[in-house]
Each structure stands twice: as structure tokens, then as C-alpha cells.
Amino acid sequence: MASLAERMRPKSLTEYVGQTHIVGPRGALRPALEAGRLPSLLLWGPPGVGKTSLAQLLAQHVSLPFSTLSAVSAGVKDVRDEIARAESDRMFAPNGRMLFIDEIHRFNKGQQDALLGAVERGSITLVGATTENPSFEVNAALLSRCQLFVLQSLSTEDLKALGERAMANDSELKQYGIQLIEWDALTPLGGGDARRFLNLLESLALAAHHDGIHDLTAEWIAENAPRAAVRYDRAGDMHYDIASAMIKSIRGSDPQAAVYWLARMISGGEKPEFIARRLIIAAAEDVGLAHPNAMVVANACAQAVERLGFPEAR
């Protein structure tokens, strides 16, 4: 059986949750959708925020035939086959075909270049989904032919709306007899990821049904929910975003926030030497003469980290 996240995929744009800055009433794509003319797009965002669902719904809304490829397994031949298919169907689909490529950042230069002509001619409307910064991972020529939209992590209100819809509409969940869910305890565990959240909801509902429990209280959720993996990428934008957040927290005299972002880096597996270097920079540039000993302390910390390493350097 398909997972709850798959079963709850929206059937229309009215059911789509989140990303109102793109497809909301005043969203950036709303004029194009109303005109029935969709440009080629790059959708950049973290996992589980609705990139694939959005592509499918956009094609449905403007009545474009829909094809999909995964850059993990597809090659140049697969791309050329889809382009040939689109061009041969122009008599029946004069507006072309939508080609959705998941994880498009995994395509090499040759594979991305194979798309250029078809996108330029309008044979295909390309929608590429990526979790990596397109400025670094997508060719400049392809970037210039597409509009880039950044998808945001879902809010706790968005996740609650998804959860309530699932509990009301999914036949499998209804069988478990769940009567109460304390959403304030459950939604933060989703981390803004709809797929993770819905699959967690299904897992907890099944566990509660097995134990004869009908109320998912905050205490029960805390005891039974698996620990969520910390979202962090040492080679991507998040690496620098979180380091910058720590420095800005120090600059803003917010020690609790600084420790939080420091803990995020440590939990995500960041190299301690990198963290120590950032603290030295903060001591020199942000603290400075306001606390002259800050540089001494930061250097001592860096030396201790270099000699000890993790876990002792924590």
C-alpha cells in the first residue's frame, strides 16, 4: 500500500497547501495560470515541500500532457526520447508537453544542454525540481530560459491542516479510531516536511491503534515518536546559512539563539574546526574591543578543538 503522504497528494491547486507566494491568490504564477500559459520553471526547496505535487497540478491546470524523469536514473537518451515524443505530439498538443525532472541538479552539463533547444522552441515546458542552489548546479544557459521559484518549508499551521485533512479523508486512518491529536506536540516534529509529517502521523496512529489508544496526547507523542533527523548539509547552502545565523545571534547579543545554532551545527555533523574558525572571526569582527578577552578565549577554544577533536571538544 502507498504511504499516507502519497495517498494524500492534492488533486487540484485548491487542495495544495503552502507556497502561497507562488500559487496563492496574489502569487507570482497566478497571472500565468489564469492566462493558461506556463513558463519553464525551476523549483528550489528542501524535501517534502510539494515540488513534485506542484508540477503535476500546474500541468493539470493549464491542460499540458505531463511526463516525468528522475535525474538519478535518466540519461541523455531518455531526455532526447521525451523531446522527440513532445515534438511528434505537437499536432494534438500544440502548446507542447510538460517535462518534470526531479533532482535536476544531478544532471551533468551534457544532459542539461540537451534540453536547451526544446525549451527554446517551446516543444517542452520544463519544470525542474532541486534541493540544491541552482546558481551552482544548473547551467547558466538553462537558468536563463527558466523562471526560478524558491519553495519554503511548511509552517506548523500548514502541517496541521494537512494532518486534519488526512484524518478526515483517509480511509486507512479512519479505521484506527483516533479521537484526539495534540497537534502542537506533533507538528514541530515534521520539520516543515509534509512527507515526513504525514508518514509520522500514520506511524503513530498505527502504533496507538495497536496499543488500544485513541488519544495522541503530547506525553504519548513524546514517548513514541522517533527522533527526527537534524536537517543539515555540510556541502550546501544550509552549511553557511546556519553558521551565519550563529554569528548574527552573537552580534545581536542573543546567547540562547547563538547556542541553538551552534547545537544545530554540531548535531548535523559539522567539523569542529569550522565552528572554531567562525567563533574567532566573530570575536575579532563583532565583539572586538567591547570585550578584548574574547579573542583570547576564542583562540584557546580553537586550540583545544584542534588537540582534542569530538566528542571531547563539545
Sign of the four-CA dihedral 22, 92, 146, 80: positive
Place of cell 484526539: 180
The pLDDT score that the predictor gives to residue 74 is 87
How many distinct helices (H) and strands (E) make up the chain? Answer: 18, 7
Mapping DSSP to helix (H, G, I), strand (E, B) and coil, where does residue 22 land? helix
The domain 18-150 having CATH identifier 3.40.50.720: the answer here is no
Q: What is the pLDDT of residues 2-32, one digit of tens each?
A: 899 999 999 999 999 999 999 999 999 999 9
Instruction: Assess contact for 143 and 115: CB atoms under 8 A.
Output: no
Q: How far is CA 195 from CA 111, 127, 202, 246, in A?
A: 29, 20, 11, 28
Peptide bond into 311 cis (omega under 30): yes
**pTM > 0.85:** no
The pLDDT score that the predictor gives to residue 272 is 84
Q: What is the pLDDT of residues 54-103, one digit of tens each?
A: 999 999 999 888 999 999 888 889 889 988 888 887 767 677 789 999 99
End-to-end CA distance of the chain: 44
Instruction: Assess contact for 23 and 71: CB atoms under 8 A.
Output: no
Percentage helix, strand, coil for the chain under 3-state DSSP, each rounded to 5:
55, 10, 35
Q: What does 288-310 look like in DSSP terms, one character per residue?
A: GGGSTHHHHHHHHHHHHHHHH-T
- 1, pLDDT greater than 90: no
The pLDDT score that the predictor gives to residue 204 is 92
The pLDDT score that the predictor gives to residue 297 is 87
Q: How does DSSP classify residue 221?
A: H
Higher pLDDT, 299 or 309: 299
| Average of per-residue pLDDT across 117-126 | 89
Q: How far is CA 298 from CA 289, 295, 308, in A?
A: 14, 5, 15
Q: How does DSSP classify residue 41?
A: E
The domain 237-308 having CATH identifier 3.40.50.620: the answer here is no
Instruction: Assess contact for 197 and 162: CB atoms under 8 A.
Output: yes
Instruction: Assess contact for 278 and 246: CB atoms under 8 A.
Output: yes
The pLDDT score that the predictor gives to residue 230 is 60
The Cα 154–Cα 136 span in angstroms is 25
Mapping DSSP to helix (H, G, I), strand (E, B) and coil, where does residue 114 land? coil
Q: How does DSSP classify residue 216?
A: E
Q: What does 145-181 look like in DSSP terms, one character per residue?
A: TSEEEEPPPPPHHHHHHHHHHHHHH-HHHHTTT--EE
Q: 168: which residues sit within 8 A by CB, 6+ positions away?
A: none
- 183, pLDDT greater than 70: yes
Q: What is the pLDDT of residues 146-169, one digit of tens each?
A: 999 999 999 999 999 999 999 999
The Cα 182–Cα 189 span in angstroms is 12
Q: What does 64-90 look like in DSSP terms, one character per residue?
A: --EEEEETTT--HHHHHHHHHHHHHTT
Q: 223: which residues sit within 8 A by CB, 6+ positions away?
A: none
For residue 124, what are the β-bridge partners?
Answer: 97
Peptide bond into 10 cis (omega under 30): no
